[in-house]
Amino acid sequence: MSTPAVQTGRPPSVKMLINGQFVESKSREWHDVVNPATQEVLAQVPFATPEEVEAAVAAAKTAYKTWRNTPIAARARVMLKLQALVREHMSRIAETLSAEQGKTLADAEGDVFRGLEVVEHACSVGSLQLGEFAENVAGGVDTYSLRQPIGVCVGISPFNFPAMIPLWMFPMAVVCGNTFVLKPSEQDPLTPMLLAELAQAAGLPPGVLNIVHGGKQSVEALCSHPDVAAVSFVGSTAVGTHVHDLASRHGKRVQCMMGAKNHAVVMPDASKEQTLNALVGATFGAAGQRCMAISVAVLVGEARAWIPDLVAKARTLKVNAGCEKGADLGPLISKTARQRVLGLIEDGVREGARLELDGRDLKVGGYEKGNFVGPTIFSGVTPSMKIYTQEIFGPVMCIMSAASLDEAIALVNRNPFGNGTGIFTQSGAAARRFQNEIDVGQVGSNVPIPVPVPYFSFTGSRGSKLGDLGPYGKQVVQFYTQTKTVTARWFEDGATTAGVNTTISLK
């Protein structure tokens, strides 16, 4: 695998992938890729020029003419090779991811593995892309449906999962016969570029996968390009709403997975130690930078006495650079992200929430310049506070209370987001009632982060999602294909009919 080429007078540059070639950008705008624990500049990423974005889409459009007719088995074999290569290079990918994003090595490997599961599912495209057939729907007439690719597809991926989300996107798109242009986050583009090298080594033909870098200008150019058929986005609500509106106005299929405020409802009969571990891990893992993180714990009835136990458990977590052995969570992605989280913590104090655990003044020896915030816990949080109404995207737990399960369900359902939620209880009846009445797309019973395995679909809902189909599983095959229905009748040579039929029925 290659490394970024060095340009005189500046750090290594991140290349683009266009038509099967890793090329240097001619851009005049470059941004630093920074290690969030040390502030070391790892590389510089270009913001692609309009001509480079155009070249990537043109390459994908040309490649689509032949790739769409590539046999399904041949496409599946590329995915088989890709999953083998990702496994082989797992450690290197995780180390790169940890350095540029800040995750612990264990969490970085988890990031890669959850994406790898989708690649493995893509290997079964032979059954996923099957159509339907009905014989003799009328006399001598058969009807069947085909699932065909739709063309050039675009993926816009976020900083918090630089391996998993790209692997959710391009493998399923290309295995269905489409071609793809990926625009990864400019904050951690090195990991997606390693995945692109592996995809090329696995046998993807030139132009089937392309990567360009950049910010708003690149995103808008891709969303409005006349040769793009579909756009998949994962990221913030503000950007996702803009992407959805722009791409929809230009006639694209769009799916946008956006912000969240995920609640965990804790019943008094829950298994205490298991629940405490689950809540602390799901809240503070990856420094809280997960769209599926548990950011609100709703303690019901006597479970409200568990606050000191949650605080004690959170105090045991070790905050350090992701590369350091034993670290439970690393730094936030950037100085800007850290300042935003600190500002929201200050808002919580000012609005009257009780600060049970304060992570603002955390110092990590040897990494004094790092973007660290320690585990932080508020109790007494109310629905009007900014720490509740806004997605903090940092290691902050908001504790709320409810007198009953009914009250807890009503609280969760009033929140505009619907990405994920969970209930912790030993009562099957309570869990079943919760899953039936809760208005959230993904529900866990004693599972804090209920992200489904890839042969199901990711089903966030309400304010967390725009578009009706999820980013993997059977739903994404529908997203990346169009159904063509054929009704056919064949006649023997010399056959005659009874005459002209002016009705719409077939007999």
Give the residue numbers annotated as catalytic, written as ranges.
Answer: 291
Residue from 96, 38, 90, 55 nearest 367 by CA: 38
Q: 43: part of which helix (H) or strand (E)?
A: strand 41-46
Q: Is 248 helix (H, G, I), strand (E, B) or coil?
A: helix
Smallest Cα–Cα separation from 379: which of 298, 443, 318, 448?
Answer: 298
Enter the DSSP assignment of 12: P
Bridge-based pairing state of the strands 465-466 and 253-257: antiparallel
Tell me the β-bridge partners of 32: 44
Strands (E), 150-278: 152-156, 179-183, 209-211, 228-234, 253-257, 262-266
**Residue 342, burial from CB neighbour count under 10 angstroms (0-12, 13-18, 19+):** middle
For residue 477, give the nearest of 230, 206, 125 by alpha carbon.
125
Cα angle, residue 174 at apex, residues 172 and 178 outer, rounded to 5°: 120
Q: How far is it, in rounded angstroms, from Cα 27 to Cα 215?
A: 13
Long-range pairs, 26-29, Cβ under 8 A, ≥24? 26/51, 26/52, 27/52
**Which residues lie below 8 Å from residue 453, measured CB to CB, with a gap of 6+?**
117
Residues in the chain: 507
- The angle subtended at Cα 89 by Cα 25 and Cα 470, nearest 5°, is 75
Rounded CA-CA distance 464/419 in Å is 5
148 φ/ψ sector (left φ>0, alpha ψ -120 to 50, else beta): beta
Beta bridge pairs of residue 299: 266, 401
Evaluate the CA torsion angle 20, 24, 29, 34 in order and state its sign.
positive
DSSP class per residue in 64-97? HHHHTTS-HHHHHHHHHHHHHHHHHTHHHHHHHH
Using CA atoms, how far apart are residues 17 and 34, in angstroms rounded to an integer?
21
Find out whether 223 and 246 touch, Cβ atoms under 8 Å: yes
Tell me the three state secondary structure of residue 32: strand
User: Please, where are the H alpha helices in 11-162?
Assistant: 50-67, 72-88, 90-101, 105-122, 125-128
* Residue 32 in tokens: 């630093």
